[in-house]
Structure 1
Amino acid sequence: MDFVDSPEQAEFRAQARAWLAEHAPRELYEVLKSASYGDAILESPEMIAASKAWQRKKQAAGWACIHWPREYGGRDATPIEQVIWQEEEGVYGLLNKIVMTGQGICAPTLISWATEEQKRRFLPKLASGEEIWCQLFSEPAAGSDLAGLITRAERREGGWLINGQKVWTSHLHYADHAILLARTDSSVPKHEGLTMFFLGADTPGLSYQPIKQITGQSGFNEVFLTDVFIPDSQRLGPVGHGWRVALTTLMNERLTVGNGGMPTGFKELFSYCCMAECSGGGRAIDDPWVRSKLANWAVRTSGLRHTASRSISALCKGQAPGPEGSIGKLVAGTTMQEIAMFAIDLQSELGVQQGEQAPADGRFQAMLLRSAGTRIEGGTDEILRGIIAERVLGLPPDVRADKGIPFNKIPTGR
């Protein structure tokens, strides 16, 4: 992959840079620049309102979801131009946090599986931030084993009656719509009895309870579906083909999170080490041990960047996101946790503090508390290692005792 802009790409970058120079919300620059991953301010009511305003402004000028087709709210940009835009948007890209699930995960599913009428109805409002989407996937008894979910969808005249429970649902508390994976047939193996739907967040019978996290935030929710009726017109893909549809969602989720949505904290750590003092005096960056650790993480983040570039090259050739997207998510999540722990160790006894009282305004403390969730959401480390081993490296698959067994015949503790 050529990392030097072609003349056309250079022109596109200049246009993006000029528009941002005139229209970016400069009043938020310092707040966004100092915000860390997991910082509560990014999901405050004021920041959510600012995020929606930023999405509206971008879409009105043709800079929102630019790689989407024009008829759906984009501008038919290439994947490379999308990367250029993200590079130029820089710190203002943090304002995309609340729409990332909808734009990066739900939208590709709609583009691949929804009707043309549905695409034209939902995608432009998704691109503008007018409507927020989330995904109802994980369940209390089926997190890593998503295909083992037990939320059931039963046929009724004109549609489906849904009963079940979901958990770890991000952003439902301000979402307008959700995609939902449910079981429509228990008499076949678990992957074959699933069907995908979408529904409004205000649908009767759908309720939720925010989950208090260790960070003090409540970005996740526990969701209950009691006799929720979904018209059959809101089904995505054929009945029983929900796993195929879900793979579209999951591959784009790991691409979004691993390649563009999850920082590692390396830049923040490097800047901190250039300013922080060691316990023995002098800057941390001058300590050989610190430099050795920084060098290792620099190599790792470089590898992440180039792996992401290969994914972008594949997209430019018209290929769908593949299992290699799991690499970025797996490595970025563990790297962020390691970096946060290392930074807090450098802070010695001051590292036990949080918020503005802590060194570096507590950015590494917030990062550490949130990082545990990054290693679970979008697939746990163990699941991602299995995907990489089998589908990227071609190693033999793990033994599955439930393979080929009808779902209702699988022994459980329930």
Structure 2
Amino acid sequence: MIPFAAGARSRLLPVSVPMRYFGAAVAFQVLAWAMLLAASEPLSSFRAGLGPVFAALHAVTLGVLALAAVGASLQMLPVATRQPVRSIAAAKLAWWLLVPGLLLFTGGAAAYRPQLMGPGAAAAFIALAIYGWLLFDNLRHARGMPAIRAYGWAALACLAVALALGVALVAHYEFGLTLDRGAFAAAHLVLASYGFLGLLALGLSCFLLPMFALAPAPSERDAVITLIVCVCAIALALVAIALGRDGLLASAAVAGFGAALLHVMLIERALRAKLRPPLGSAFLLVRVSWFCLLASLALGAALAFGVATERAQVLFGVLLVPGWLLTFLLAVLQRIVPFLASVHAGGAGRSPARVSSMTPQRTLDAHRILHLCALGALVVGVAAASDWLTRLGAAIGLAAAIAYAVFFAAVMLRLRGAQSGGRPDVLQPTN
């Protein structure tokens, strides 16, 4: 079992630190769907280049996924590694650099103004470098859970290279730096999505999902084997991109599919021994995200083999970003946010509040339906090259994002009320 021991509370950050990251991620999700809905270019015909679709993509990958990943890892990894964050001030500084930087970057991309993207990218680069230093320090001094530490090291390495490639691409747009934009963009995509964000998601899954289900953690050996296959697949993909070998890239996608399948089987096997029978709506979203992960890798292999149409490139992106990464993140955050709120509602000799009392379940139910409908409309709309269907999906996605923002605001209001003393829902200690 993975209990949340009393000693782990000493390694929790002040509640304002992770919640500011999560709150910004929630706001960026609304912005991303709004930009996609307002884009004049149909999503199904998007290929590359600046514009609202490009900006919406990076509002999700950087504004939602990266912000939430930074907040979640800074908060939950210290619990797993038994090592507190080195500097709370640095964690706050990273937020103050990252959020304005991303607003400038996505705004410049949407307005076709690369000269605005440069300063935004620079601020984001510094912020993520600070985060990388905090993650490096935490992993270096970590104790326990070697598999999760290994996922953290691999994710950190992918982040470092992805940042370097991202800076090169911004220099290409702003200063005309000569490079193979297609190859650099493909490598950046692999390292940022399957590498940094993906490996963090897989690693934290081995800790968080069993914790929320009151289930035993997967075996360290199996988790490390899965990680090795993941890293080999990512490395093979990078070599294939550098050499321009489509067959090798397809092999990397097949290896990645195998690693993803191993991970899913590993977590599902652990969850069978759960002590909490109803896993809740969040786990439905987790399983949908797993399906999208496997589908993205299968489609990626088909694209590399040349047996899929050019339109499938956009479908691949839909399955990868909103399908796998965003859906998984929203599922996990809807458990992390009330959980942290319930813990922080205690303090000063008070017991924690019930997690259920911090969770506006009806709002989450509405969000789940809207998000899945939006995802389905995007997938079908892109596959059928239907502009009206993709716009409908963007509109429903915007509604889902607003519902999620209402959920987050409700949790924050309940936390504030609990901390102010009005707490009939507090778990009373038993003697």
TM-score under structure 1 length normalisation: 0.27
More strand by proportion, 1 or 2?
Answer: 1
The higher radius of gyration belongs to 1
More helix by proportion, 1 or 2?
Answer: 2
TM-score under structure 2 length normalisation: 0.26
**Taking CA–CA contacts closer than 8 Å with sequence separation of 6 or more, which of the two structures ends up with the larger relative contact order?**
2
